[in-house]
Copies of this chain bind each other. A is one copy, B any other.
Amino acid sequence: MLKMTAYSVAFAVATLLVFAEPAFAQKSGDVRADIEKANQAFAAAFAKGDAAAIAAMYSADAQVFPPNSDAITGAAAIQKVWQGAMGMGVKSVKLQTTEVEAHGAMAHEVGNYTMLAADGKEIDRGKYLVIWKREGNAWKLHRDIWNTSTRTPAK
């Protein structure tokens, strides 16, 4: 009888742990490494002019918030955003992560970006905040917003 109680309690441990444990858990340091790797893939795709590969790095229901534009939803529209940046003379992008904090299958990243022309001249630089979402085995950009750090003349 007491032995059964011990088993029951052990079963309760297992049951409670299943419900208490988040659906997905990974150490923050590992998440940062994964996200930095994803950013390298983003930059590599950009340097190749492959906006479709960039769009594929976003989550199924991602939203992008570019400056001077309404919110952008959906892979086709997101691809167009980056195609547009390429069309405006941006030949490469540098992404420098300054912070990653993971919360289960979601994480937020703060970083700095630089957009460069073909001759290496800086077109724009600024900061960004991205919500990453774990989908399958990969971290995907889920919410993506940035703005320039350069001073533009007042309107």
Chain A contact surface mostly: mixed
Number of copies: 2
For A70, the closest partner residue in chain B by CB is B149
Of B21, B67, B108, the contact of A108 (CB 8 Å cutoff): B108
Judging by beta carbons under 8 Å apart, are B145 and A147 in contact?
yes
Is residue A76 within 8 Å, beta carbon to beta carbon, of the partner chain?
Answer: no
Interface size grouping (class) on chain A = 35 or more
Judging by beta carbons under 8 Å apart, are B67 and A148 in contact?
yes
Of B6, B13, B69, B155, the contact of A16 (CB 8 Å cutoff): B13
Seen from chain A, the residues whose Cβ lies within 8 Å of a Cβ on chain B are 2-3, 5-6, 9-10, 12-13, 16-17, 20-21, 63, 65-71, 101, 103-104, 106, 108, 110, 127-129, 131, 143, 145-152, 155
